[in-house]
Chains A and B, each alone.
Chain A
Amino acid sequence: MIKKLIFIFSVVLIFTACGGGGDENTITGPDSQNDVRSVQIDPEKINGLIESFPSPIEMAATIEDMKVPYSKKHLVATEIAADFDSNFDKALGLGMLSADLGYLNVYNRKNAIVEYLTSIKRLADALDVDQFFEFQTLKRLATNSNNLDSLMFLSVTSYHDMDEHLRKTRRSDLSALMITGVWTEGQYLACKVNQFKSDKKTEEIIAGQKDIVKELLGVLEFFDDKPKFKKMNDQFRELLKLYDTVEIKLIEGEDKISYDQDSIPVIEPGEHTDIIYTQEDLNKIQNKIIKIRNNLISL
């Protein structure tokens, strides 16, 4: 009996001894951390970007018009979002999921909306920017109201507030990343929809992003010294190169006023832009955008 017990004990001991091995050592901080202060962007610059930016609502509205069937495959899966580890990923993810939320909103997918809101909340919490999202209200709107406009929280003003907060806490990079996320995911969805069912208006939107990419890159390049940014920026630089052949002309003209059936005047702006691009250019751009987006979520 006693022998048996001793045997069991020694087995257990050996077992634990083996289990205890293979522990890695932690890496302590750098020997010296000279001025760790982050690069700060000129607030004017980012404000300009936010203002000239297509909001997720606009993007969604365009897609809605196209009457393309809903596909969850286009979206960033929430499981993937749960795996975003660094603040870099989280900020990007926050932007991307916001864009996805716009898409879901168009198709009125209530369950998915709640799921995405939960994911967004997690990311916002982790970045300590949750105060800019009224989650409770949003959830209620998403589940109870038919005519939901849950996207209002991503309005320009809330972006301004959030950006200001991030800047105050010296985290402008996150602000830039969020915008990058929204833009990339929005364009990605547009490209995907367009690939499914080609549409002139969508194509023009995609092709017309030349200046925005330039502006976005202008902001992102502040952070070129950070490896992650560098890697991402390189791809945007490649994208910008593809836009070289795209030409955007501003054509001036008189505004036209017409009346709809309720006799309400509708102003049709005379001034519009002509976007000149070849289908080949567009395809290249579309593919590049899809590639960038997929790279970003697989970081």
Chain B
Amino acid sequence: MSEEILKALMQLFAIIAKQDEGVVLEEEKFVRIFLASQISKTQVEEYMDLFIKHSEREEKKRKKKEGKEGPSGQVKMVDSVRVMGICRKINKTLNHKQKVIVLARLFELINVEKKLTEQRMEIISVVADAFNLTSKEYKEIESFVIQDDYRELDSESVLIVNDKEHTHTKSQHILSESLHGSVLILQIKSADLYFLKYTGKQDVFLNSTNVYNNRVYLFAPGSVIKLPKGKPVHYSDVVARFMQDLEISKLSFIVNDLQYRFKTGDIGVRDVSFSVDHGKLVGIMGASGSGKTTLVNTLSGITTPSSGEVRINGINLHHNHGELEGVIGYIPQDDLLIEELTVYQNLYYNAKLCFKDKNEEDLSALVIKTLKDLGLNDKKDLKVGNAMNKTISGGQRKRLNIALELIREPSILFVDEPTSGLSSRDSENVMELLSELTQKGKLIFVVIHQPSSDIYKMFDRMLILDQGGYLVWYGNPVDAVVHFKTLDNQVNADTGECGVCGNVTPELIFDIIEAEVVDEFGRYTEQRKILPQEWEKNYLEGVPKDEIEEVNDEPPATLNIPNWFKQFKIFLTRDVLAKISNTQYIVLNLLEAPLLGFILAFLIRYIADPNSSVYIFFDNENIPPYIFMSIVVALFLGLTVSAEEIFRDRKILKREKFLHLSRSSYLMAKIVILTSISAIQAFLFVVIGNAILDIQGMYFAYWIILFSVFVFANFMGLNISSAFNSAVTIYILIPLLMIPQMALGGAMFSFSKLNRLIGSVDKVPVIADMMASRWAYEGLMVYQFKENKFEKQYFDYDQVKSIANFNQDKLIPKLSESIEAIEIVREENEGKNNVDSVNKVVAYELALLKHEIPKENRKILELTDKLRDFKNGKNGKKINFDVFYNGFDALAADDETVKDSLFIPEELINALDVKTYDVEKHGYELMDDLEKWKDFYLAVYSSANELRENLIAYQDERKPGYYIKFRNKYHNEHLDDIVRNIYEKNKILRFNEKLVRQEEPIYLEPDDSNFIGFRSHFYAPHKYFLGHKFETFWFNIFVIWAMSILLYIPLYYDHLRKIVEFFGNLNFNKKKIKNNKEEEQDQLES
């Protein structure tokens, strides 16, 4: 109490006391006692002087002035004015509770000598008015202080403790064993205060100090009244009586032999049993490592115990947790707030996720009410911010955290260290808040560390754990001190709190529990005097246990979560709001992509001709690297934008899991937001980059590929962000994910020139097929080549030309070589005795022929089909041409005729076996057939070439310079070189029995013999899958999306996290188990 207030109070006391005949001795004595309870003894005299001076001097002055006694029975105007002045002063500094206390003291003052004159009462009523007290409360305080007879006090605000039968209708009653007089308790609802007085003559103790007859005491939370006989009355008992009127649902929380064993074998919680009912604030204390958090996790149902059970109203928490959905709330130690949102928004979206039936108005009203209750209403539009960038204080953050759970008012609430890091004022506020909740019938468990005396006393029950998860105390907090002091044989062991100041020292408990043995030199050893096991034994044997009646009602659940889609919508709005409010984030994300696009494109916008200043797209050699870099940019941006998403929300997620909210709707909201950001980023990048490089007509293609890669990277990022524990780990991981994507993207290293262990000659290696970059790069390269406005006109012709030219020039000669090789080896070794080695060579060559010839047979039909398409106008207009060879038009004939005249017959192919093959018979026939093929391909080549040449001639005639103009504008030479693989020296390779075409992969259709196999060579123009032919571009996009969707599965089930945790457990805990076991052994031995 401040000096000023005390002075004001002294004046008030003086003014009241001096009315009617002045101050009497008893009153002076009361003031002295009152002062002694507030300030030190030396100061008491100072204030007493003040009191006396005011009461006497004023009196004398007045007498002097008037010369005679004024009319009695009337308050002087001067006094009224002065009282008002003092009250105004008090109003500014004292809160409601304190004002109520002041008022009670005033009544007490006049009650000392029962001088209840009108003037005195009038002044008190002026004070009550000035303090804004209701007349009801004023009357209640008055009668409580003044009435000595309990029978006169029949009000719902009064509780009577005595040994008489209860005859009142309104007041509450607690029956005690033979007690002289009554203990009366008054509840002041508006201030949440309780006053106590005792009318009898026995020794009654309030918190171990004597209660004087008819003196009014404040009955603070955590207090206990000890009566001469019978059970002490706890604060909570009193509160419970008053709360009976409220609709309180009964709860029973019974824990039986609960044990939790870690996967490593360590025991976290050991055979804990206790029971508690509703309306209790239970503290959980213990040194670090004693298993507090483990206990809370097990009690709250987050983890399942190894043995034992927790029954809430008879329902097993761990086996029937479905029935208890919404009953339990959990407030972890860490912040659960979304930094970017305001205080109001944080609470609002949280509430929205809890109550599906409430409409906007109700919801908003509820949020405002909760904020008001917690004193946060004036901060509601402030952003929460983070520890570095504070806008609200630590205490306010904590309160908001609690509000998140509070708003849905779960019946049982677990709070993990709510006061850590808070000032003592904030700590008390938070604890008072929880304490108030218990008065409404909630059961609250609080893990608490080094509580102050006041906080410690607020608890109704205290649960103390010792190292190794031993339960060493469960019961009244103050009794705990007595219990341990007694066991430690301390002086004064029977008083739990300081007789003078009422303070409790909970630290003492731990000093006793953890006391170490002192060696002969007076040094502490690391050995404990008393082991946890012994403390447990002492508790189990020496302390009577509370018996709680098991309730069988269904526990009230307060959770009503909305459906999947509504949750998704809430998550979405919440995330969007959080993102939008972070200006830095938005600006960076929106500018990064176009800026990179600009830098990249600007750097590589290159004019090939030194004498020219005109940029020609065709000549820019940097287009393929640009494509690749774009993909790398997409991967990087996509990964970084998502890499922290879930990680940041981790704590919130833990809580939301508690609420049984849908993970998939949460993830879907994230995905929708990230893909939207990605779509915009990809768009801005492409728009800037492609415009600078003058890539014409490809905006959509680039966008959709980059967008797909972005999304893939988003999924990858979400996976790692959900799996790892720190931002640093996540950023360390990024290169590990990126480098393979870059190396196996197809742009840096040729797939045919990789390590043989992973490489394959005719197809992209499997490991590269797992890279999104490879699909994206191929898709875009193929599309840029094939679908640009220039090449699109000629691609079909070019493809036929390429196939025909390759077959007649490279493939057929290779086949002929094989036939000749057989002939030579047989001739040279004729008559010699080395059949085996000859046969080996023959078999090797025949294998090639046997594999390639049927394949080529089929390709002939494909080719004639394609040419017929040209002719019939599938690609535009009908064209009259033929493929004329050996006097025979292959296009005019039907398939059968083509087969007859061109196919190498089945019988001949069947004869390609070491035993049956005959050089003169089969070899020569084959050679003849291959000659036919050669002529056919030459004819095909000629026709396709002419079609192309004629088209160009026609175009140039209509519009001179057309061909070059289009080529320069839409086509790129370097890209053309790459997809046609012109730098490859070996145009054809033999790989076992296969001939692999390395020339112009862009024209080579992939092998379609495998129905589900979609793998192909790099830069294939089409892909075959499930018997259908797809454009490479679209197919690759499909593959990237399929990969993204596949990544959703581990994301949903959090597979990666589980794997990471599995390995984490493996590596680090073995040592620990060993150490722990050794320690235990040592302790037991000692």
A48 at the interface (CB under 8 A from B): no
B838 at the interface (CB under 8 A from A): no
In the assembled complex, the Cα of A5 lies from the Cα of B589 at a distance in Å of 12
Query: A16 contacts B945, CB within 8 Å?
Result: no
CB interface residues, A 87-141, toward B, < 8 Å: 87, 125, 128, 131, 136
A23 at the interface (CB under 8 A from B): yes
Query: B586 contacts A26, CB within 8 Å?
Result: no
- A86 and B691 in contact, given A28-B877, A33-B881 (Cβ under 8 angstroms): no
Query: A30 contacts B877, CB within 8 Å?
Result: yes
Q: Bin chain A's interface residue count.
A: 35 or more
Q: Which residues of B contact A8 (CB under 8 A)?
A: 590
Q: Which residues of B contact A128 (CB under 8 A)?
A: 801, 805, 809, 941
- A28 and B876 in contact, given A170-B942, A170-B946 (Cβ under 8 angstroms): yes
In the assembled complex, the Cα of A186 lies from the Cα of B255 at a distance in Å of 107
Query: A30 contacts B946, CB within 8 Å?
Result: no
Query: A85 contacts B947, CB within 8 Å?
Result: no
Query: B946 contacts A37, CB within 8 Å?
Result: yes
B793 at the interface (CB under 8 A from A): yes
A87 → B minimal CB distance (Å)? 6
CB interface residues, B 625-684, toward A, < 8 Å: 684
Query: Nearest chain-A residue to B957 (Cβ)?
Result: A227
- A131 and B962 in contact, given A29-B951, A33-B950 (Cβ under 8 angstroms): no
- A85 and B950 in contact, given A26-B793, A29-B879, A171-B942 (Cβ under 8 angstroms): no
B696 at the interface (CB under 8 A from A): yes
B789 → A minimal CB distance (Å)? 6
A/B pair count, beta carbons within 8 Å: 94
Q: Which residues of B contact A171 (CB under 8 A)?
A: 942, 945
B489 → A minimal CB distance (Å)? 70
Contact pick for B699, options A1, A16, A30, A125, CB 8 Å? A16
A259 at the interface (CB under 8 A from B): no
Query: A20 contacts B699, CB within 8 Å?
Result: yes
Interface window among B129-137, B963-971, B1065-1073: B963-971
Q: Which residues of B contact A168 (CB under 8 A)?
A: 935, 938, 942
Contact pick for B964, options A26, A85, A136, CB 8 Å? A85
In the assembled complex, the Cα of A27 lies from the Cα of B964 at a distance in Å of 13
Contact pick for A36, options B691, B792, B947, CB 8 Å? B947
A27 → B minimal CB distance (Å)? 5
Contact pick for A5, options B586, B688, B959, CB 8 Å? B586
A146 → B minimal CB distance (Å)? 25
In the assembled complex, the Cα of A79 lies from the Cα of B880 at a distance in Å of 38
- A32 and B583 in contact, given A16-B687, A79-B609, A128-B805 (Cβ under 8 angstroms): no
Q: Which residues of B contact A32 (CB under 8 A)?
A: 877-878, 880
A contact face: mostly helix, strand, loop, or mixed: loop
Q: Which residues of A contact B697 (CB under 8 A)?
A: 23
Query: Nearest chain-B residue to A27 (Cβ)?
Result: B955
- A125 and B880 in contact, given A29-B950, A86-B963, A168-B938 (Cβ under 8 angstroms): no
In the assembled complex, the Cα of A29 lies from the Cα of B801 at a distance in Å of 18
Query: A23 contacts B967, CB within 8 Å?
Result: no
A298 at the interface (CB under 8 A from B): no
Contact pick for A1, options B583, B691, B962, B965, CB 8 Å? B583
B946 → A minimal CB distance (Å)? 5
B240 → A minimal CB distance (Å)? 54
Query: Nearest chain-B residue to A166 (Cβ)?
Result: B942
Query: B881 contacts A36, CB within 8 Å?
Result: yes
B868 → A minimal CB distance (Å)? 15
A37 → B minimal CB distance (Å)? 7
In the assembled complex, the Cα of A33 lies from the Cα of B878 at a distance in Å of 8
Query: B880 contacts A35, CB within 8 Å?
Result: yes
In the assembled complex, the Cα of A170 lies from the Cα of B938 at a distance in Å of 9
B797 → A minimal CB distance (Å)? 10
Query: B952 contacts A86, CB within 8 Å?
Result: yes
B432 at the interface (CB under 8 A from A): no
Contact pick for A169, options B590, B945, B965, CB 8 Å? B945
In the assembled complex, the Cα of A192 lies from the Cα of B654 at a distance in Å of 88
- A169 and B609 in contact, given A27-B955, A33-B879 (Cβ under 8 angstroms): no
B949 at the interface (CB under 8 A from A): yes
B652 → A minimal CB distance (Å)? 26
A81 → B minimal CB distance (Å)? 13
In the assembled complex, the Cα of A170 lies from the Cα of B792 at a distance in Å of 25
Q: Which residues of A contact B879 (CB under 8 A)?
A: 29, 33, 36
Query: A85 contacts B985, CB within 8 Å?
Result: no
A21 → B minimal CB distance (Å)? 11
B92 at the interface (CB under 8 A from A): no
Query: B880 contacts A30, CB within 8 Å?
Result: no
A36 → B minimal CB distance (Å)? 5
B189 at the interface (CB under 8 A from A): no
A18 → B minimal CB distance (Å)? 9
B1074 at the interface (CB under 8 A from A): no
Seed contacts A15-B691, A16-B687, A28-B877; 14 additional CB < 8 Å A-B pairs: A8-B590, A12-B687, A12-B688, A24-B965, A26-B793, A26-B966, A27-B955, A27-B959, A29-B877, A33-B881, A34-B880, A36-B879, A37-B881, A85-B967
18 contacts between A and B (CB under 8 A): A15-B687, A24-B965, A26-B789, A28-B793, A29-B954, A32-B880, A33-B879, A33-B880, A33-B947, A33-B950, A36-B881, A36-B950, A85-B964, A86-B963, A170-B945, A170-B946, A171-B942, A227-B957
Q: Which 9 A-B pairs have the closest CB atoms?
A: A170-B942, A169-B942, A27-B955, A128-B805, A33-B879, A168-B938, A30-B954, A29-B951, A28-B876
Interface residues, chain A, with chain B CB atoms under 8 Å away: 1, 5, 8, 12, 15-16, 19-20, 23-24, 26-38, 79, 85-87, 125, 128, 131, 136, 165, 168-171, 226-227
